Amino acid sequence: MKNDLVQAALKAKENAYVEYSHFPVGAALRLKDGRIITGANIENASFGLSNCAERSALFAAYSQGIRQVDIVEMAVTTDNETFVTPCGACRQVMSELVGPDVDVHLVNKTGAVKTLKNKELLPFAFNAEELPR
């Protein structure tokens, strides 16, 4: 992992709108062509209408025509001293929109990094094969 991906996620975290949780998160996706797409968590007083940084980055990417095969790694940053993994909703979305063997780098407050494969985050993900045809 190159440091520019972490720096992009940290910069995205600065744009988080966290009026209620005060828990900013930044995410960054590196694409095959080297571009980086970022996202931050955006909250709303009606909590169910909030969006996490990971999904913000992925939805921005997909809105631009980027697809799973284009994403080569991902970084998620928080201000915690521990490593924070994506929430369940993000893990479910990531299981479909990010390849299973893509590295997901969790970055804590000190800059330490823990790397997991996307498939490790949600090993029994619900997927399209579960749906009736």
At 90-106, the pLDDT tens digits run 999 999 999 999 999 99
Read off the pLDDT of residues 5-26 as tens digits, 9 standing for 90 and up: 999 999 999 999 999 999 999 9
Could you give phi then psi for residue 9, rounded to 5 degrees?
A: -65, -40
Name which of 54, 71, 74, 61 is nearest 5 in CA terms. 74
Name the token pair of 48.
Answer: 């169910």
Question: Which of the residues are catalytic?
Answer: 54
Q: Indicate whether 119 pLDDT > 70.
A: yes
The answer to whether residues 16 and 40 touch, using CB atoms and an 8 Å cutoff, is: yes
Q: What is the domain-level CATH number for residue 91?
A: 3.40.140.10
Residue 120's domain comprises 3-130
Say if residue 1's pLDDT is above 70. no
Between the alpha carbon of residue 42 and those of residues 56, 115, 120, the distances in Å are 8, 25, 26
Q: Mind spelling out the 3-state secondary structure of 99-129?
A: CCCCEEEEECCCCCEEEEEHHHHCCCCCCHH
Q: Are 40 and 12 in contact (CB under 8 A)?
A: yes
Rounded CA-CA distance 91/125 in Å is 8
- Asked whether the beta carbons of 94 and 64 are under 8 A apart, the reply is no
Total number of domains in the chain: 1
Contact (Cβ atoms closer than 8 angstroms) between residue 25 and residue 52: yes
